[in-house]
Amino acid sequence: MTPEDAAAPGDQSARPAVSDRELARLVREETARIVGTLAASTGSLDVAEEATAEAIEEALRQWRRQGVPPRPGGWLMQAARHNAVDRLRREARYRAKLALLDSETVDPSDTAADADERLPLLFGCCHPAIAPESQLALTLRAVLGVTTAQIARATLEPEATVGQRISRAKRKMADAGIPLRIPEPDKRAERLDIVLAVISVMYDSAHLMAGAGAEADRDLADDAIWLAGVVARALPGEAEAAGLQALLLFHRAREGARAVDGEFVLLADQDRGRWDVSLITQARGELDRAARLRAPGRWQLHAAIAACHADASSLADTDWLQMLVLYDMLLGYDPSPIVRLNRAVVLDQVAGPVPALAEVDAVRGRLENYRLWHAVRARLLRELGREDEAMAADLRALELTANDAERRLIGARLAR
């Protein structure tokens, strides 16, 4: 189809140019609702998702050139529905669904902006019967409307690999009967934790981009914070959802000091004046709200640890003991080697590099190919005056990182 068929084009010449950021915002606001609506009426997430992805690519092409139409949600829905009908016509086994789709007139821009209707799709994409790396890719595409090429840039994988991952996951959903549904309250905690973990990885992926820095057209950190907000608002009784949102807001607040002119700045050297005070206030508010729900969990503890940094006016002023206590509690919920590695960094501040290094070495087997394990180890070895070993560890960290800014940071340390 041509996008011009999908909606009245209006006076396109008068529309102002639109930024990539604004386009990303529009796409992410509308995608999940459109995919969800079409999945319900066609009975196939695959058809719904492909049709929507095609519509998004058409929209991005056209809107960049001609500006955004007055009702972008309606435009996308109509284009996606058109693509879905095309797709169903081509496949004989879907013919029965076709009549159903033709008879419906659902326009998502006319429905209330109810966050809940996006959650069934999100829980379906983050189903434990789908492999973890596919949960992330599928969520990015079906829930947020990120293109396969954009996902490939974020996860440092070839586009073909990402494409295959997504189609395999969709086939499994259809063939194995994975429902698009919010789990019942008594089964929700463990399913919600998967959703929150996927959003957290999404936030972290934003910093893994290969190449120099943030030139990508989709800011996954922004997407992750937005999605965490959608979940927290839709499930106001879930303390962990508020916990994750607080955590990501604390991280985001420190972003301006952490990356300056495309270079990473270590915590010790960060200009705390660049931290975003209003985001920190917002994060504290979310964490307080979570605490009042009296259902502790790992995301709230992660957020409480991040709050310790935000509360300190300098590195020396940081309450490391409090952080260590929080890490010990966190280990009760999440005994992962990454948590132990991060705890070792705090242990160094409280008890010195000897016990910290012992703790780092204890998780060697599981983190040997993780760049930050080597970077933390290098720092502790240097504190202990073991320069040669420190350099070897930094060199290994350098080999393992694909991000240019991280490479420059480690390179600078090696050059000293």
Residue 76 CB, nearest distance to other proteins (Å)?
A: 28
Q: Which is nearer to other proteins, 93 or 294 (CB)?
A: 93
Residues pairing with 264 in the sheet: 259
- Tell me the β-bridge partners of 358: none
Residue 156 Ramachandran class (φ > 0 left, ψ -120 to 50 alpha, else beta): left
Q: Is 90 among the residues that bind other proteins (CB under 8 A)? A: no
Q: List, in sequence order, every residue forming a beta bridge with 260; answer none if it has no partner.
A: 263
Which C-beta is closer to other proteins: that of 21 or that of 181?
181
Q: Count other Cβ atoms within 10 Å, centred on residue 367.
A: 19
Rounded Cα–Cα distance for residues 36 and 44 (Å): 10
One residue of 187, 313, 385, 416 binding other proteins per CB under 8 A = 187
- Beta carbon of residue 323, minimum distance to other proteins (angstroms, whole number): 36
Of 14, 105, 112, 175, which one interacts with other proteins (CB under 8 A)? 175
Asked if residue 92 binds other proteins (CB under 8 A), the reply is yes
Q: Which stretch binds other proteins (CB under 8 A): 96-104, 181-189, 321-329, 404-412?
A: 181-189
For 369-404, letters b (16+ CB in 10 Å) and e give ebbbbbbbbbbbbbeeebeeebeebbebbbebbebb
Nearer to other proteins by C-beta: 182 or 360? 182
Least Cα distance to 145 among 18, 23, 4, 1 occurs for 23
Evaluate whether 218 touches 146 at the Cβ level (below 8 Å).
yes
Give the total of residues touching other proteins (CB under 8 A): 12
Q: Given candidates 121, 166, 178, 225, which one binds other proteins under the rule CB under 8 A?
A: 178
Closest CA to 250 of 160, 328, 310: 310
Chain residues 105-134 in contact with other proteins, contact rule CB under 8 A: 127, 129
Closest by CA to 219, choosing from 185, 170, 252, is: 252
CB of 36 to other proteins, least distance (A): 16
Question: Which C-beta is closer to other proteins: that of 93 or that of 416?
Answer: 93
53-82 positions binding other proteins, by CB under 8 A: none
**Candidates 179-187, 197-205, 252-260, 401-409; binding stretch for other proteins (CB under 8 A):** 179-187
Least separation in angstroms between residue 169's CB and other proteins is 13
C-alpha–C-alpha distance, residues 161 and 252, integer Å: 30
Among 89, 181, 233, 364, binds other proteins (CB under 8 A): 181
- Per CB under 8 A, the list member of 74, 183, 213, 256 interacting with other proteins is 183
Question: Could you give the CA distance from residue 196 to residue 299 in angstroms, rounded to a whole number?
Answer: 8
Residues that bind other proteins (CB under 8 A): 92-93, 127, 129, 175-179, 181, 183, 187
